[in-house]
Amino acid sequence: MIWHVLVRNGTVDNYNPELGSAPRINVGFQRPDDEWVVGNNVFSVIQKQTGFYPNSTVNDLLYLAMSVFAADLRIPRKYSKDQWSRELKIHFPVVDLKIWSPILPLLSRTLSFLTGDKWEIELRSRNNHVDAVGKQKLKNVDSVCLFSGGLDSLVGAIDLLAEGRSVALVGHHGAGITNPIQERVLSSLMPKYKGKMFPFMFYIQPPKNNSEEGEPSMRSRSFLFFAMGVVVENVLGSNSPLVVAENGLISLNVPLTGPRTGSRSTRTTHPYYVFLFWELLKGLGISTSIVMPYRFHTKGEMLKGCKDQDLLASVAKLTMSCSHPEAGRFRGGSPNSHCGYCVPCIIRKASTKYSGIPDATYTIAVETSPPFYKTNSGRDYRAFCIALERMKGMKSRNIKQKVLSSGPLPPADLPKYAKVFVNGMNEVSALFRNV
C-alpha cells in the first residue's frame, strides 16, 4: 500500500492528482488558510537574524525535509504489512527540475536507509520562490553547529567557542519541553560567550491528524535537522563545514540484540547516512560539507576532552539526553528529569561516571536498582546486559562484523569504529559493575 503525500506550496498551488482510493495526506506551505500547513518560524528567524533568504535549491531542500518529517509523523507504521516499513510517495514542487531530477535515486536511498521505509519522490515545478535579498547582518560567524540541547551538542558548542570561534547554533523544537531545555542551556553559555554565539532555534511542527494517533518513531528528524544546518550555513555564507557533535557509540547504534537489527535501530548520525546526505548536497550543487569531530570518541571521552571543563561541569546537568523526558512526570517526579532506563540515559550515566562530570537527575538508577527485565522500562537494560555478556572473549573480526550490522562503513575506518564501540560498551559495563 502506497501512501501519497501531496505537498502544496503557495496559495495558488491547487495540485490534486487523481489517485483513486489510494491513501493520502496533505502538506502545506505558505498557505495561511490551509489546515494542513506545517507550522514553522524558519524563514522569519533567518531573515531577522541575517537579513537574507536561502537560495532556491537550499529552500527546496528545507521544504522537502519538512514534508518528509510531516509524512513520517502523520502516517502510522501499523498499516504496513510488517507494521513497520511504509511505502511513501511525495508529490513535491521544486524551483529547478533540472537540478533535482538526477539526484532522485540517491534521495530515495538516503531516506530509506534513515527511516527503514521505501520513499519515492515525484517532482513538479513551482515558481513562487523569493531570491536572496538584503544586507548580511552576521558577517563574522565562522562555524555552524547543530545544537539539540543534549550533552554531546553542548560539548561541541563549548569546544568551538573555547577555540575562539564565532558559532551559529542550530536547533529544532516542536511541541513539548525541548525548547525550554535548549534555552536554559543557551542562557548558561551566554554570559561567557556573548557576542560569539548566535542561536538559531527553529520551531517546526506538522499539524496533528485528529483521526489518528500519529507515528512516534520520528526516524526522519535528522534529515530535517541537517537541512536546517545547511540553510543557516547557506545564508551566512560562512563556507565552514556543518559540525555534528555526536559520540561514536550513539552514531553507530550497533544493535544490542538480534531483534534490534535493521531499521528498528535509529541511524540518526550513522556514518553511512552522513555520507549519503553529503553526496546529496554535492549532487544539488550545495557546497556545505559535514564534519563529525567526535565520531571516534565515546561519550565519556568527549566529556573528558572538553576544552572548558569548568563550564561543562556547571552546565551539563541542564542538558537533556533522554528518549522520553516526560516519563518522570508519570512516576510522580519532575517532567524534566531523565528516565534513567533508555539507551541514551544509560550511555549518558556511564559517560558521566567515566569522566567525573556532575550529572542530571534520573527517575530510575539502573546501576543500583535496575528495572525488572520483563517490563518496558527494563528492556534496554536487559539488552545491554545480553550484549555485554556476548562480547566477553569476542574476537576482533566478530566485533567488526557486529559494528557493520548497523550499516556500511569505510574499510579504512572500521578498526577505529570497532574500537569506539568496545570502549563505549566498556563504559556501560563499568556502570553496571556493582549491580
Owning domain of residue 84: 2-39+50-125
Task: Check whether residue 216 and residue 180 sit in a common domain.
Answer: yes
Residue 259 has pLDDT above 80, yes or no: no
pLDDT tens sequence across 348-367? 999 999 999 999 999 999 99
pLDDT of residue 208: 75
**CATH number assigned to the domain comprising residue 384:** 3.40.50.620
Task: Check whether residue 307 and residue 249 sit in a common domain.
Answer: yes
Task: Check whether residue 34 and residue 159 sit in a common domain.
Answer: no
Task: Check whether residue 198 and residue 233 sit in a common domain.
Answer: yes
Task: Check whether residue 381 and residue 238 sit in a common domain.
Answer: yes
Distance CA 68, CA 221 (A): 9
pLDDT tens sequence across 115-143? 999 999 999 999 887 776 667 788 889 99
Domains identified in the chain, total number: 2
Residue 57 DSSP SS3: helix
User: Which among 77, 108, 125 is the end of a domain?
Assistant: 125
Is residue 268 within 8 A of residue 321, CB to CB? The reply is no
How does DSSP assign 310-377, residue by residue?
A: HHHHHHGGG----SSTTHHHHTTS-TTSB-SSSHHHHHHHHHHHHHT-----BSS-TTTSPPPTTSGG
Task: Check whether residue 121 and residue 138 sit in a common domain.
Answer: no
Percent of the chain at pLDDT above 90?
80
pLDDT of residue 59: 95
pLDDT tens sequence across 384-399? 999 999 999 999 999 9
Task: Check whether residue 155 and residue 258 sit in a common domain.
Answer: yes
pLDDT tens sequence across 48-94? 999 888 999 999 999 999 999 999 999 999 988 888 899 999 999 99
SS (H, E, C) 215-259: CCCCCCHHHHHHHHHHHHHHHHCCCCCEECCCCHHHHHCCCCCHH
Task: Check whether residue 143 and residue 121 sit in a common domain.
Answer: no
Give 157's DSSP letter. H
**pTM beyond 0.85, yes or no:** yes
**Nearest CA-CA partner of 250 in 147, 342, 168, 134:** 342
Residue 263 has pLDDT above 80, yes or no: no
User: Which among 125, 146, 176 is the end of a domain?
Assistant: 125
Residue identified by cell 565552514 is 240
User: Which among 82, 99, 125 is the end of a domain?
Assistant: 125
Task: Check whether residue 297 and residue 244 sit in a common domain.
Answer: yes
pLDDT of residue 139: 82
CB atoms within 10 A of CB 254: 23
Instruction: Give me the amino acid identity at 363.
Output: T
Task: Check whether residue 78 and residue 182 sit in a common domain.
Answer: no
Between the CA of residue 186 and those of 193, 351, 423, what are the distances in Å? 10, 22, 30
Task: Check whether residue 87 and residue 160 sit in a common domain.
Answer: no
Task: Check whether residue 243 and residue 370 sit in a common domain.
Answer: yes
